[in-house]
Every structure is written in structure tokens, then in C-alpha cells.
Structure 1
Amino acid sequence: MIYSRILTILVLIIVLHQANAQCGQNASKVGATCYCISGFYGPNDSNCQQCSNNTFSLQGVSNTGPSVTQFSACSYCQAGYYVTTPGTTTALPGCLQCPSGATTPNPLSQPGSISSCVCFDSNGAALSSLSQSCQCNIGFYGSPQTTQSDPNRCLPCPANYTSPIGTTNSTGCKKQLDSSILTAFLQLIITSILF
């Protein structure tokens, strides 16, 4: 009887120890299961390898397991990169870095363009095939912030002033034409032409 109790206690200690066992390097627990952490992949939590070529994986069954390959797991581009070509079962996705001062809000898996990147400066103009660097938006001037921790450096033009995209100093802010004056002027021209 005593041996039975001791054996039960020993089994319980072993089970509890295994349940609290540490995950392998570059792995962590989700619930009670160890998985490779995001950005890594492997057949189990003891053999996690980092995704290559600026690709990224999401933690869970998609990046840890016996049938997981780099191609199946690392199907995202890491934050700060956008997807030029999607991944396949035999090729990683093509990942191109966002311009200086810009990033992608999350890892991406769908093909896109530079417009997937967002300038750190909230007063920056949207990126596009025509505008591939972070610049201050219409009505603002300055140099956009270059890191996420910097404050916004695109400052608004004074009231009733505006500026084109990319204006770097306050002298580029020009007084807006009052729409009521423009309307009156156009009415005067139309009236003089008609009569």
C-alpha cells in the first residue's frame, strides 16, 4: 500500500515536471504545447531555425511540426518589407524593403506594392510608384520622421496657407486663394463675356 502511494506520487511529480518542462531554443508555449516562435520554423520545438531572406512565419501548427518546411512556414514578409511575389511550395515569397522612414504595420503574405508601406510620420504622404520616399503631405512642411520613436516632423502650414507634397520648409507654404474671391472673379468674367 505504501509503495503504491509512493509510486503514484512519483508518477505525478514526473508528469508535472514534464508539463512544466522548458521549450527548446527559439520556441515558447502556446497553452500547453511548445511551438517555434514567430519568424522561425522546424519539425519540433527543439529544432527551430530562423526564416531566411526577410521572410517570416506565424507561431503555431503552421510553423512547427513534422511536415513543416521553410516554404510552407515562412510565407510572410517580415514587418518593414512588402511582398513582390507570393511564396509557393518550392519558393519563398519575394520581399522588398520599405523605403527609409517607412514600414508595414504587420507581416504580409499577399503580393502588393510600395503602397503597402506606411511612413512613420502620420503627416507624411502615401507612398506609390510615383512617390517612393517619405515626404510631407499637402499642407505640411519639414522632413518626415525617420524612426518610429521620433515625433512627427512634418508640421502644418499656418492657417489659410498650403503647400505641395514634399515641401521641406515653411517658406514653401503659400497663401491659399480665397474661394469667394475666385468665385466673384469668375462671375465678373462670365458677365462681361455674356453682356
Structure 2
Amino acid sequence: MISSRSLAILVLILFYSQVNAQCGQNASQVGSTCYCNSGYYGTNDSNCQQCQNNTYSLQGVSNTGPQVTQFSACSYCQVGYYVTTPGTSAALPGCLQCPSSSTTINPLSQPGSISSCVCIDQHGAALSSLNNSCQCNIGYYGTPQASTTDPGRCIPCPANYTSPIGAVNSTQCTQQLDSSILTSFIQLTIISILL
């Protein structure tokens, strides 16, 4: 015999699946309204089409409605791409893929540069026009992670040791000069000059 609680859960599941079944393909319900899913666009939820050329849309009134076009909806670059040229009412944004082992955190709509991409490894150096590949940061060595499941990683140098950006093995870690020794050396040098 089915308990009243189990029956209530079954009714809710059936109601939920019936409500969601009313949305078109590549669409889902937000509140009481069906919208094209993120990454899609359409004049209504029954004709949702995927954004092209690595572009992306956000779910809601900006990607579903009678006035929506591919250009108005797909104004973002998907995660893993940065914007080289902004979208217009007649053109999609230019989206360029981030270098290997890096990504963007969110879909982007504003023009940027390679510095919009971040290395997946938290100890990777910041990307720039001078440093356009993921390398281990100062004080670390190794191979940066290419993905969240990749075993590669940047390893910290031992205490009181440092390394340049891009060090790949521990032999590139060099001992740091103790600041108190350096200060004493400078003071002795000044005293010997004055004498």
C-alpha cells in the first residue's frame, strides 16, 4: 500500500515532468515561463537554436522573445574564449580560444585580451601579451594543470628558495638571500666607505 507521503511525492514528480514537458526542445522553465536554454536563442521556446562561432547567450528575456535575433542574444563568448571584437546588431562577437591549460571564469561580452584567460592551475602565472602560455608562477616549478583532472601541477620551491616564472624542475629553485644578511652587508659596506 502506498503511503500518503509517497503519493504526494509521486504527484509532484508527475506535475513537474508535465510542466517541463510543455517547454520546447533546448528550453526549460524559469518560474512559470519557458525560455531557451543558455547558449541558445529563439523567438519562442519551441524554436531554440544554438549560438554559432563559440558565442553564448544567457537564459531569459534576452535570448527568448519575438524581437530576439542571433545577434542580440548571442552577444557573449562561451567559457574558454575571450572577446576580440564586440557583437553588434548585425554581427556576432569575435571569440578567440584561450591558450592551452587556461580558461575564462564566466561567459564574456566585453572586448578583452589574452589576460581575460586564467590558468587552470591556481599557481600559474598571469597571462599577458608577453606571457601567452600557462607557466608556473615565481616560487613554483613543474607543469601547470591542463584540466581539473590533469595530474600536472605547479609545486612550491622549498622554504627560503624561489624560482623564475616558467621553472619546470626543482633545480631551478635558488636560495633567497636573507634580508637581514643583505641589510647587514649594506651597512658594513657603507661603514667601510665612510672610514
Task: Find the aligned partners of 2:18 and 2:157 in 1 and give their Cα distance.
Answer: 63
Provide the secondary structure at the position in 1 that maps to 2:72.
helix
Displacement of 1:22 in angstroms is 2.4
User: Match for residue 115 of structure 1?
Assistant: 115
| RMSD (Å), alpha carbons | 1.7
Task: Find the aligned partners of 1:175 and 1:35 in 2 and give their Cα distance.
Answer: 59
Deviation string, structure 1 residues 57-77 (Cα, Å, up to 9, x no partner):
001110011110000000000
- Matches for 1:1-195 after TM superposition, within 5 Å: 21-150=21-150, 153-195=153-195
Displacement of 1:151 in angstroms is 5.0
Q: Is the 8 A contact 1:123 1:152 kept in 2?
A: no
Output the amino acid matched with 1:193: I
Q: Is the 8 A contact 2:146 2:152 kept in 1?
A: no
TM-score by length of 1: 0.88
Provide the secondary structure at the position in 1 that maps to 2:44.
coil
Classify 1:18/1:186 alpha carbon distance in 2 versus 1 (closer, same or farther; 3 Å): closer
Displacement of 1:162 in angstroms is 0.5
Deviation string, structure 1 residues 171-195 (Cα, Å, up to 9, x no partner):
0000111111111111111112222
Displacement of 1:110 in angstroms is 1.0
TM-score by length of 2: 0.88
Provide the secondary structure at the position in 2 that maps to 1:186.
helix
User: How many residues are treated as equivalent by the alignment?
Assistant: 180
Deviation string, structure 1 residues 121-176 (Cα, Å, up to 9, x no partner):
00111111110000000000000000123356100000111000000000000011
Classify 1:91/1:163 alpha carbon distance in 2 versus 1 (closer, same or farther; 3 Å): same
User: Match for residue 14 of structure 1?
Assistant: none
Q: Is the 8 A contact 2:41 2:70 kept in 1?
A: yes
Task: Find the aligned partners of 1:20 and 1:98 in 2 and give their Cα distance.
Answer: 36
Gaps of 5+ in 1: 1-16
Provide the secondary structure at the position in 1 that maps to 2:180.
helix
